[in-house]
A and B are shown apart, each in its own frame.
Chain A
């Protein structure tokens, strides 16, 4: 899978799947350079995907809230990615933002 438009479409579907996982606050651009490259071929009206897809590797940068444990969120995100990109997809997830809120106040 090397067609930029196809990669962008897959990345957008991954974004949607990951954003729906409980505990995921939001996605951040996983690879700003790749996103800029996509911007040159993408429709200006279409939001650029945050996931970066290279072959069978999917990279994500996410924010996680205080609802669930980070490990549970990571497992669910991995499952969501593989539901879109295939069960053999290699997943790289970076948690760039963690929110505590009042969950830990005693």
Chain B
């Protein structure tokens, strides 16, 4: 998919950002460095490089080279996720101070929280924000409402390194996502679904021991 309008307000597309990351972000491009969506993509590109190296580190010589299509699809998914989307208000806002966080910032927070779990690489983050039941209405029939938090239902798809305990990895991602939401957003964690849709395996054919174990 071609990014005709670039990422954020920068005018630069994914290819340009990848090249910029490869050059170590030099020479500095102000339009990229001042754009939060571009920075989120750049951080993800650099984190992706580190994490994919870690995922295959134990089997580096036996692993096939990284699938460029897979990496490309992942980066395009990240590019979609970082779009600011709607502003989510903090309930502490009033006439003198209004605080909001963008949906894109929350999605990237969830991605980074998952990626920080050892052996895990987040493939996709889905976020659905719904008004908390009773928000703006305490049931008393008065207009004095108890502030209620909107609810975040999260769907995280992850890859894990071969040998990583799957249930523990999913639990850790779920816990990290919940903690991040509570600490950094006005959202109450709802359902946090974690799907493991890929396991990075060593090249079985090149490893007789692994083949024997598999049999």
Q: Which of A64-100 contact B (CB under 8 A)?
A: 64, 66, 69-71, 74, 78, 88, 90-100
**A interface SS class:** mixed
Interface size class of A (residues with CB under 8 A): 20 to 34
Q: Does A1 contact B (CB under 8 A)?
A: no
Of chain A, the residue at the smallest CB distance from B185 is: A70
**Cβ–Cβ contact B116 & A101, under 8 A:** yes
- Which residue on chain B has the smallest CB distance to residue A96? B36
Q: Given A29-B34, A69-B183, A74-B90, does the pair A100, B176 have CB atoms closer than 8 Å?
A: yes
A35 to B88, CA, bound (A): 24
Residues of A within 8 A of B118 (CB): 105
Contact of B116 among A29, A74, A93, A104 (CB under 8 A): A104
A-contact bits for B176-194, CB 8 A (1 contact / 0 none): 1101100111000000000
B117 touches A97 (CB 8 A): no
Separation of A32 and B11 alpha carbons in the complex (Å): 13
Give chain B nearest CB distance to A11 CB in angstroms.
15
Task: Tell whether, in the assembled complex, residue A98 and residue B35 are in contact, meaning their CB atoms are under 8 Å apart.
Answer: no
Query: Which residues of the other chain, A, contact B97 by a CB distance below 8 angstroms?
Result: 78, 90-93
B63 within 8 Å of A by Cβ?
no
Give the Cβ gap from B35 to chain A, nearest Cβ, in Å. 7
Q: Which 8 A-B pairs have the closest CB atoms?
A: A96-B36, A100-B112, A104-B176, A105-B116, A98-B109, A95-B101, A100-B113, A104-B113
A residues apposed to B, CB below 8 Å: 28-29, 32, 50, 61, 63-64, 66, 69-71, 74, 78, 88, 90-106
Q: A93-B99, A93-B100 are in contact. List 12 more A-B contacts (CB 8 A).
A: A63-B36, A66-B180, A69-B184, A71-B92, A93-B98, A94-B101, A95-B105, A95-B184, A97-B105, A98-B180, A100-B110, A106-B172
